[in-house]
Amino acid sequence: MLIANLLPLLHRYSLGFDLVAGPDDTVTLTVIPRKAEGKTGPLEPGETRPISITASAAEIDAELVRGDDGALGQLITTRKTLADQIAEQREAAESAKAVSAEAAKAKAAAAPAKTASPPASPPPSPAALPAEAKSNEPASLW
């Protein structure tokens, strides 16, 4: 029954399990999602991160029976959704980078060669007198 309920998860992942008995009749179940054989495309590291559940055996069974609607199924679905979003963002960033590089190439090719322009007149020195000032009179602030 456990495998039948995990079948929806097994379509995307190969699942590894580790069971460890704990104190007070608790059990720690660690589920390790891995890429299923025959599936194309890499899994994101977040999708393959192990998931640990510590509870009583009955509580773990109750969650696993729920399949995709249980805690484990929801965690894996959320991780997949996040991985899909990350992949989309990476594709968009790569596309934007390529478009930017093409635009820069086109701009560089379209820009005419710079011609030598006459040098600009040098800025006036701070010690130079204003045009209306006379050399024998002090400069006025008004």
Q: What's the rounded mean pLDDT across residues 55-80?
A: 80
In angstroms, the CA 115 to CA 97 distance is 31
DSSP 3-state of 16: strand
DSSP 3-state of 75: helix
112 membership: H or E segment, kind and range: none
Mean pLDDT of the chain: 77
Query: At residue 30, what are phi and psi to the nearest 5 degrees?
Result: -110, 125
68 or 49, higher pLDDT: 49
Q: Which two tokens stand for residue 131?
A: 């045009």
For the chain, domain boundaries = 2-90
In angstroms, the CA 69 to CA 20 distance is 24
Please tell me the pTM assigned to this model.
0.51
Residues in contact with 107: Cβ distance below 8 Å, sequence separation at least 6, in sequence order = none
In angstroms, the CA 34 to CA 50 distance is 9
Phi-psi category of 67—alpha, beta or left, where left has phi over 0 and alpha has psi -120 to 50?
left
- Are residues 32 and 50 in contact, defined by beta-carbon separation less than 8 angstroms? yes
Task: Report pLDDT digits (tens) over 99-118.
Answer: 998 888 888 888 765 555 56
